[in-house]
Amino acid sequence: MKFVLISATHGRMTTPQVLGDLQANLFGGGLCEDQASEAIRLTFHDGIGRSAALQAAGMFGGGGADGSIIQFASVELADPANAGLEDTVYALKHFADAHNVSYGDMIQFAGAVALSNCPGSPRLPFYTRRPPAVAPAPPNLIPAPTDPVERVLARMEDAGFTAEDTVALLAAHSVGTQKTIDPTISNTPFDTTPRVFDSQYYLEILLRGTGYPGRGRSPAEVKSPLKSEFRLTSDAAIARHPKTACAWQSLIGDQDRMRASFSDAMMKLANQGYRNLVDCSPVIPSSRVWDRAPAYPLGKGVADIEQSIGILST
């Protein structure tokens, strides 16, 4: 990942100035490219560090979207689940320090701005004034692509998310690529439109897998339908599991609902557990409208669909 740091200004600045700096110097002038995808992923890896079960057992449950992944980077980046996020963590630390913004605020702000660069995305709410993190997130709170569905759902529920929320949050993979599972084919996308927030991802994952885009040697990967597409084991399983298949298929033809349910779940991810945050949503830009209906990739059709429940007919 490349970014140019020309913003070594210190002292408190206003949110529109932070926006301008991020857009110009991290997101390439407002693009939905690599840096944007990584910033969106980081909102999850910081926010998911929160466990009701640990808290109930009298232990530290983690501070959620508290910026701990930046503040305690040396601890949290040692977790293999965070592989690939190093550059973004250090870049956002720089922007947060330069603008005197808390790390938790910076991560959620950058994620909302990054998402706004992707056509078709919802305009996320943004609240500010998260206090500094007090400790690193406890280990093993980030779902792994090799986790069985029940385990992913249980972990997500422990962090406050229903199975439907989890399905909705995975819309983020519509603007994502992999780099670390098979590094020999870094930047292979999860759908055919990785720079557009659309329901192609929900449709394409139901196509029968036919081969691997690269070496195909990781248990985190299963066969995908296209040579140019990467399929995570957990994504494929969640799309087909009885607890989540209906919610999954319901998002394919309804991009308005996909946007709304993603936005609601992201609000939980970003704000859960905080009181007294200040609504700063108007500063988040709107994305370019994208309403093209999802379509089968060339050479694929309904006969290639694998589904565990039969509601998909087109």
Q: Out of ligand HEM, Ca ion, none, which partner does residue 104 contact, by CB within 5 to 8 A per kind?
A: none
Q: Which of 45, 94, 99, 241 is catalytic?
A: 45
* Cross-strand bridge partners of residue 232: 221
Among 51, 82, 178, 255, binds ligand HEM (CB under 6 A): 178
What letter would DSSP give residue 222?
Answer: E
Among 21, 38, 105, 164, binds ligand HEM (CB under 6 A): 38
Alpha-carbon distance of 210 to 157, in angstroms, equals: 32
CA 225 vs. chain centroid, Å, equals: 22
Q: Out of ligand HEM, Ca ion, none, which partner does residue 212 contact, by CB within 5 to 8 A per kind?
A: none
**Residue 109: which of 20, 7, 28, 187 has the closest Cα?**
20
User: Interface with ligand HEM includes 179 (CB under 6 A)?
Assistant: yes
Shortest approach of Ca ion to residue 189 CB, angstroms?
8
Q: Out of ligand HEM, Ca ion, none, which partner does residue 229 contact, by CB within 5 to 8 A per kind?
A: none
User: Interface with ligand HEM includes 104 (CB under 6 A)?
Assistant: no
Encoded tokens for 118? 């992707």
**Residue 205: which of 220, 186, 225 has the closest Cα?**
225
User: Interface with ligand HEM includes 180 (CB under 6 A)?
Assistant: yes
Given a contact cutoff of 8 angstroms between Cβ atoms, the answer to whether 203 and 301 are in contact is no
User: Interface with ligand HEM includes 125 (CB under 6 A)?
Assistant: no
What letter would DSSP give residue 227?
Answer: T
* Cross-strand bridge partners of residue 278: 128
- Phi and psi dihedrals of 271, rounded to 5? -115, -10
Nearest residue (CB) to ligand HEM, 44 versus 109: 44
| Residue 313 labeled ligand binder | no
- Give the nearest residue (CB) to ligand HEM: 176
Among 46, 105, 182, 221, binds Ca ion (CB under 5 A): 46
User: Interface with Ca ion includes 137 (CB under 5 A)?
Assistant: yes
Looking at 68-76, 166-174, 247-255, 295-303, which segment touches ligand HEM (CB under 6 A)? 166-174
User: Interface with ligand HEM includes 181 (CB under 6 A)?
Assistant: yes
Identify whether 45 is a catalytic site residue. yes
Residue type, 165: D
| Residue 174 labeled ligand binder | yes
CA 202 vs. chain centroid, Å, equals: 15
**Residue 83: which of 222, 196, 195, 179 has the closest Cα?**
179
**Residue 122: which of 255, 260, 290, 252 has the closest Cα?**
260
Looking at 142-150, 209-217, 239-247, 305-313, which segment touches ligand HEM (CB under 6 A)? 142-150
Contacting residues toward ligand HEM, per CB under 6 A: 34, 37-38, 40-41, 43-44, 84, 143-145, 152, 166, 169-170, 172-173, 175-181, 220, 232, 234
